[in-house]
Amino acid sequence: MTERYDAIIIGAGQAGPPLAARLNAAGQTVALIERKLVGGTCVNVGCTPTKAMVASAYAAHVARRGNDYGVRLDGTVRVDLEAVMARKNGIVEASRKGLLSWIGGMERCTLIQGQAVFESPTSVRVGDRLLEGARIFLNVGARPMSTVEGHEGVPALTSTTILQLRELPKHLAVVGGSFIGLEFAQMFRRFGSEVTVVERNPRIISRQDEDASSELQAIMEAEGVRFRTHANCIQLHKSERGIMVSLDCEHGEPEVEASHVLLATGRKPNTDDLNLQAAGVQTDAHGFVVTDDHLRTASPTVWAMGDCNGRGAFTHTSWNDYEIVADNLLDGGTLSASDRI
């Protein structure tokens, strides 16, 4: 038996639930499908947990600088990583429970757990349930990826798995000198690990202005983070004491040996298992859903919001995507992704 809704939202990230709330308030019936945890990357493995850990790292950093503020501390500042993780997990769980409570209060919204697969431009299957909706909205997010040679043969960490560490790395090598990699690099240096950042470009955060890049590197170097830029031909392999990162740099040794390696070299959209072709939805060479500036896909019944459309892998851009869709469909407005700065 087919379940019929006015709208189907696939993914309960940062755009899905608020859109469900707006559609619900407008009197529409909504099916909100989530295959893992509501809240998406931000709540579960992104903003919320990392900022909780950043706060712990900052507390350790300030404690070590107590003398600078006239505060005398007896003994060595030591980070209890298990306690840090327990605090982080509690904050994440509270955020997720709050979101579930909000969704549960939407009287015309049905939350469905499972993997959605398109069967047509207006229908999806979740297990043995067939759902039909006049409009379908994608908010399926993205996940870490790596093209570093040898990553499959070593126990390399990602921005997701590093959140579950139970012991502090003696030496963390971070492959990737952009925002995610640098956040973890500074965090774990402040926790007490040795940290080396390996970046293939001539400078970190290479898309930003050069003065911002050099200043950030100087700040982090002052805290003890080491950098290896111009790192070509990066390869990973096991060593007697951990993991060896082989690289070809203009300066320095050709290898970095570390106890742990974090791969922060990019993300890919969660679009490969949706059977998008059945809906007439097009993707680019990297798997991101192609949309116009109002977030419509090639299919007139499907929209794409958040990380999966390749227009910015940030919470605020995902939220703004929801605002664009709601403004155009419910408010008669003309908000557009091209209006973003």
Q: What is the pLDDT along the chain (341 residues), one digit of tens a residue?
A: 899 999 999 999 999 999 999 999 999 999 999 999 999 999 999 999 999 999 999 999 999 999 899 998 888 899 999 999 999 999 999 999 999 999 999 999 999 999 999 999 999 999 999 999 999 999 999 999 887 887 778 889 999 999 999 999 999 999 999 999 999 999 999 999 999 999 999 999 999 999 999 999 999 999 999 999 988 878 888 887 888 888 775 666 788 999 999 999 989 999 999 999 999 999 999 999 999 999 999 999 999 999 999 998 889 999 999 999 999 999 999 999 999 87
Q: How far apart are CA 31 and CA 44, in angstroms?
A: 21
Q: With contact defined as beta carbons under 8 Å apart, do 156 and 263 qualify?
A: yes
> In the prediction, which pLDDT does 13 show?
95
- For the full predicted model, state whether its pTM sits above 0.75: yes
> In the prediction, which pLDDT does 252 show?
66
Q: With contact defined as beta carbons under 8 Å apart, do 104 and 270 qualify?
A: no
C-alpha distances in Å from residue 48, one per residue of 1, 53, 87, 309, 331: 39, 9, 11, 22, 31
The C-alpha torsion from 33 through 38 and 41 to 42, rounded to 10°, is 130
Q: At what angle do helices 179-191 and 47-64 cross, to 10 degrees?
A: 40
- So where are the chain's domains? 2-47+85-144+268-339, 151-265
Count Cα neighbours of 207 within 13 Å in the Cβ-side half-sphere: 3
- Looking at domain 151-265, its CATH architecture is 3-Layer(bba) Sandwich (3.50)
In this chain, the answer to whether the domains covering 2-47+85-144+268-339 and 151-265 adopt an identical fold is yes
Under 8 Å CB-to-CB from 20, ≥6 apart: which residues? 7, 9, 30, 32, 103, 106, 109
> In the prediction, which pLDDT does 313 show?
83
Provide the phi-psi class of 80: left if phi over 0, else alpha when psi is between -120 and 50, else beta. Answer: beta
> In the prediction, which pLDDT does 251 show?
66
Q: How far apart are CA 174 and CA 158, in angstroms?
A: 10
> In the prediction, which pLDDT does 146 show?
83
Q: Which fold has domain 2-47+85-144+268-339?
A: FAD/NAD(P)-binding domain (3.50.50)
